[in-house]
Amino acid sequence: MGSRRMFEIAFVGLKPGVHEFDYELDELFFKEKAGENVDTINANVKLFLDKNNGFMLLKFMVGGNAEVNCDRCGNPLKEDLWDEFSLVVKLTEDPQKANDEEEDADVFYIAKSESHIEVSDWLYEFVLLSIPMQHICGNDEDGKSLCNEEVLQKLDAMRVTNKEQKENSIWKGLDKFKNN
Ligand SMILES: [Zn+2]
């Protein structure tokens, strides 16, 4: 697909110093990367590339939002994305060996003969890392939870029924022993 080119930076042609790139990443981008089962994400990433002699500093600033569901009540929520990630890309003779030996996850090696870097995997990874792990409806002005009350009550009722059923089956089991 033609969209690939979009994520390739021809750094060889860049002057030393900082260059800015903007990426709008929509559902299609995440579907191509992850398959069908992805949250709806609309991210924008500003990439600052600082070109130096023999290495580049990459800074990714993630913005936008992700549509998720509340962990408690399942209500749809929109989470803002806001995070920053930095990487060092170094040019070397044997990048495979250097990458295998490098322990710092923020340092990445490419071959000296390379003229492009492909950034779509980093964009994908950093956007996913920007989504908060926990999603909970907030509170209103009075400090009352905005969670769906009806759903919470139903969940509570289900929990009680489950507990009762478990207790009943425990007693049944004990009765068996008593009768022996
Ligand atoms: Zn909720």
The pLDDT of 143-166, averaged and rounded, is: 86
Q: With bands split at pLDDT 50, 70 and 90, how would you rate the model's confidence at 1?
A: very low
Smallest Cα–Cα separation from 48: which of 20, 11, 24, 23?
Answer: 20
Smallest Cα–Cα separation from 125: which of 25, 8, 19, 6?
Answer: 25
**Ligand 1 centroid, distance to 73 Cα (angstroms):** 4
pLDDT at 64 over 90: yes
Domain count, the chain: 2
Is residue 8 one of the residues assigned to a domain?
yes
Is residue 73 one of the residues assigned to a domain?
yes
Domain identity same for 117 and 158: no
Is residue 45 one of the residues assigned to a domain?
yes
Is residue 79 one of the residues assigned to a domain?
yes
The pLDDT of 101-128, averaged and rounded, is: 94
Expressed as residue numbers, the domain containing 91 is 2-130
Is residue 105 one of the residues assigned to a domain?
yes
Is residue 138 one of the residues assigned to a domain?
no
Domain identity same for 98 and 164: no
pLDDT at 180 over 60: no
**Ligand 1 centroid, distance to 155 Cα (angstroms):** 12
Domain identity same for 44 and 119: yes
Domain identity same for 112 and 65: yes
Domain identity same for 77 and 153: no
Higher pLDDT, 173 or 96: 96
The pLDDT of 30-54, averaged and rounded, is: 89
Q: Give the max Cα distance, the chain.
A: 88
Query: Mean pLDDT score of the chain, rounded to an integer?
Result: 89
Is residue 143 one of the residues assigned to a domain?
no
Helix (H/G/I), strand (E/B), else coil: 41: strand
Domain identity same for 122 and 170: no
Q: How far apart are alpha carbons 89 and 115 in whole angstroms?
A: 13
Residues measured by CB to lie within 5 Å of ligand 1, the ion: 70, 72-73, 75, 137, 147
pLDDT tens-digit series, residues 122-138: 999 999 999 988 999 98
The answer to whether 74 touches 57, Cβ cutoff 8 Å, is no
Q: Say what the pTM is.
A: 0.79
**Ligand 1 centroid, distance to 149 Cα (angstroms):** 8
